[in-house]
Amino acid sequence: MSKGIRIALANLKGGCGKSTLALNLAAGLARRGSVRLLDADPQGALRHWSSWADVNEQMPVTVQAADNPGQLASASNECDFVIVDCPPSLDIDITLKFLRNVDHVVVPVLPSPLDLWASNMAAEAIEKVRKENPGLRPWVVLNQLEERSAFSRAMQDVLGQFNLPVLQTRVRRRAIYRLAMLEGKSVYQLGGRGLPAVAEIEAILNEVLQA
């Protein structure tokens, strides 16, 4: 019997910020309970980040390589929250297996036409998965938003055309996310410098968990 809330980060495209969001969401969830971060992406970016992290830092998130949903089941038995960083594809077997077994899927989308067009396929793939996992709650989050760009603002409205709910919270393009990654930390561990980013991550978690 699984107890923990399971959240997957998935998209058709690579480079949309899945891993960055996954680790920061995991760090945010660590303030609410125990967290396991499953790295199902063959690139293993989060495992590298975890090994790169300062050993003196108290990083309250355990990163584990994952390639089957059995690991997800055991993690959700042991932890309050499980985050799965999926491979950059929605139509491969491993991603679909994870999506059939999670409660939420967060789809980061960059403000670009390519990402917008790919979102349509993401919506289709998620709709198919929901036939087997009707409890799955999908969420699109606009990532790396440039606040002054008309393009970014337009994306928020147009994304609503697809059958996927779009989070009100938008993640701005901030160097602090990359800096935290480089330092082997999350934005929560960067003090005042990380506060605007922390506010964004907290807002995403509040939206998703209160839904």
Partner 1 sequence: MSKIKDKLKASINPLIAKADAPKAEANVPGQSKPEAQKSSATAGNMQAAAAKAAPTAVEPRVHEKKTAPAKPAKAATGLENKGAYSQGCSVWPD
List residues near partner 1 by CB under 8 A: 113, 116-117, 120, 123-124, 150-151, 153-155, 157-158, 161-162
Nearer to partner 1, 158 or 195 (CB): 158
The minimum distance between CB 19 and partner 1, in angstroms, equals: 27
3-state SS, residue 64 = strand
Nearer to partner 1, 52 or 151 (CB): 151
The minimum distance between CB 120 and partner 1, in angstroms, equals: 4
Number of Cα atoms under 13 Å in the Cβ half of residue 115? 25
Q: Which helix (H) or strand (E) holds 28?
A: helix 18-29
**Neighbour count for residue 52 (Cβ, 10 Å):** 12
Nearer to partner 1, 83 or 90 (CB): 90
Q: How many residues does the chain have?
A: 211
The minimum distance between CB 123 and partner 1, in angstroms, equals: 8
Single out the residue of 117, 174, 107, 114 nearest to residue 142, CA to CA: 107
Nearer to partner 1, 153 or 172 (CB): 153
**Dihedral sign, CA of 14, 172, 61, 58?**
positive
Q: CA 56, CA 85: separation in Å to the nearest integer?
A: 25
The minimum distance between CB 144 and partner 1, in angstroms, equals: 17
The residue whose two tokens read 């125990």 is 34
Nearer to partner 1, 68 or 161 (CB): 161
Q: Bridge partners of 14? A: none
